[in-house]
A = this chain, B = another copy of it.
Amino acid sequence: MPQFLNSADPGFEAAFAALLGMKREDSPDVDAAVAAIIADVRARGDAAVLELTARFDRLELTAGRLAFTPGEIEAECARVSPEDRAALELAAERIRAYHLRQMPQDEQWTDATGAMLGWRWTAVSAAGLYVPGGLASYPSSVLMNAIPARVAGVERLVIACPTPDGTVNPLVLLAARIAGVDTVYRMGGAQAIAALAYGTATVAPVDKITGPGNAYVAAAKRRVFGKVGIDMIAGPSEILVIADAANDPDWIALDLLSQAEHDESAQSILITDDAAFGQAVAAAVEKRLESLERRAIAGASWRDYGAVITTRDLAEAAALSNRIAPEHLELCVADPEALAARITHAGAIFLGAFTPEAIGDYVGGPNHVLPTARSARFSSGLSVMDFLKRTTIARMTPESLAAIGPAAERLAISESLQAHGLSVRARLDRLNRG
């Protein structure tokens, strides 16, 4: 049974604070092992990657076989059904269209002193996407990571994906091909992250690494951060549904379960202004759990981390949602736009009863890589911006330097940075001499 809370109860604030503070991730501390793996790859390059791949993925490779050949990719892609291929292509097209709109503009203007100011956006040159092996090897994540990189203009885009015992998900390779990935390496774990960050004889280093992974991958990404850019370190998935009594309890139950089935540490929360509806949804969850393929996982998540919260009204529901700052937020209410206007912190909002969160996982268009663990308070989902960087630009005229240079000189002196001040003064003196 999930927790049932009611905002009118005297103990509510304490119970809600406990829900907010709940620690759902219990990653093993693998940092020392990861540090050793990274050092090994830096020292021995390909030889280390190949040895570790043999050990962890039970796969004997040579450096020449680290990357899939075009022929191998073609053969795997041919195994995908036309229906799956069409679904992937539709998803890719919609994701591309959405992310194209995110491309920011360069700006340049002249201010009142005559100074030219502005900025320019340029793409990261090379990016590496990590794709987990096994059960969590999701083709949709390949699209969600690779397409924004390609839209941003990344020149070289590679994937690292472990192939335990030599097995690979053909849909992953097809998604990579559809998204325009250049190379797919058969390597995983911390060794793959190290190879992408530092390079080996076979693997050229990249500038940015994104994508989900297990505790080893997450620890390795933290360690190489600074040498390369990384995306967020994602935690277990979450959904918050705000729903009124006009909804079908079974739809809402399925939406809650669609996050719960990801992971025993996932969290699904319903906030409703009708306690009886909350009970009906909880009953529908139990009924669906009887037959769900992943009922063990989803059931554990719902039991340990699930919650049904009843509020006095929807405004209160929005206020609680902002304290949670959910990764996914469904607004299944009569006027979802009005409620959305009250939301200040959320990774993605799904409006209305015909927008189940799963649409956003695959074909909606927005990215499904979103901030977890309340980090929507300060961060955003993956976007083209993760593969772009801004260079600021300034050009002073003699007149503009004469206008603002003396203030710079004064501030430099106040900060005891004499050379800063002199670099301005030398030019001002020239101007004063005419």
Contact = CB atoms under 8 A, between A and B. Distances in A.
A330 to B, nearest CB: 10
B351 A293 contact: no
Interface stretch (A10-18, A44-52, A156-164, A402-410): A402-410
Nearest to A412: B358
A184 interface: no
Contacts of A233: 226
A83 B406 CA distance: 10
Contacts of A188: none
Contacts of A366: 117, 119, 392-394
Most interface-central of A344, A357, A371, A393 (chain B CB within 10 A): A393
Contact of A138 (B288, B355, B380, B415): B415
Nearest to A233: B226
A410 B83 contact: yes
A349 interface: yes
A235 to B, nearest CB: 8
Interface residues of A, number: 123
Contacts of A86: 407
Nearest to A206: B378
Contacts of A367: 392
A381 B390 contact: yes
Interface stretch (A54-62, A71-79, A309-317, A423-431): A423-431
Contact of A378 (B135, B229, B408): B229
A397 interface: yes
Given A124-B377, A414-B84, A294 B361 contact: no
Given A229-B379, A292-B418, A381-B392, A404 B363 contact: yes
Contacts of A416: 135, 293-294
A229 B374 CA distance: 11
Nearest to A352: B395
A131 interface: no
Interface string A104-117: 10010101000111
A4 interface: no
Contacts of A348: 391-394
A420 to B, nearest CB: 4
B424 A356 contact: yes
A407 B91 contact: yes
A394 B298 CA distance: 25
A260 interface: yes
Given A362-B411, A412-B361, A415-B139, A125 B426 contact: no
Given A254-B426, A390-B380, A171 B417 contact: no
Nearest to A348: B392
A140 interface: yes
A208 interface: yes
B115 A364 contact: yes
Interface in A245-288: 248, 250-251, 254-255, 257-258, 260-262, 288
Contacts of A298: 419
Contacts of A410: 83-84, 87
A373 B171 CA distance: 38
Nearest to A401: B354
17 contacts: A87-B407, A139-B411, A140-B415, A226-B233, A226-B375, A250-B426, A257-B422, A258-B417, A294-B417, A358-B424, A360-B394, A362-B411, A364-B394, A366-B393, A370-B392, A380-B390, A381-B392
Interface of A: 83-84, 86-88, 90-91, 94, 97-98, 101-102, 104, 107, 109, 111, 115-117, 119-120, 122, 124-125, 135, 138-140, 171, 207-208, 226, 228-229, 233, 248, 250-251, 254-255, 257-258, 260-262, 288, 292-294, 298, 336, 340, 343-367, 370-371, 373, 375-381, 383, 385, 389-398, 400-401, 404-408, 410-412, 414-424, 426-427, 430
Given A117-B366, A124-B378, A226-B373, 9 more contacts: A91-B407, A124-B377, A248-B430, A257-B422, A258-B423, A351-B395, A354-B396, A358-B412, A381-B392
